Amino acid sequence: MASMDKIYSAWGGNAEAMADDIGAQGVTVRQWRNRRSIPPEHWASIIGKAAERGVVLTVADFGPNSDVLAIAKAISAERDAA
Average pLDDT over the chain, rounded to an integer: 86
- Show the domain range for 20: 2-81
pLDDT of residue 31: 95
With cut-offs at 50, 70 and 90, classify the pLDDT of residue 71.
Answer: low
Cβ contacts of 55-58, under 8 Å, gap ≥ 24: 55/6, 55/9, 55/10, 57/6, 57/7, 57/10
Stretch 58-63: mean pLDDT: 83
- pLDDT for 66 equals 61
* pLDDT higher than 90, residue 76: no
* Segment 41-47 mean pLDDT: 92
Backbone angles phi, psi at 66, to 5 degrees: -55, 120
Q: Is the pTM of this model over 0.75?
A: yes
| Dihedral sign (CA 55, 41, 21, 26) | negative
Q: Which amino acid is at 47?
A: I
Counted domains in the chain: 1
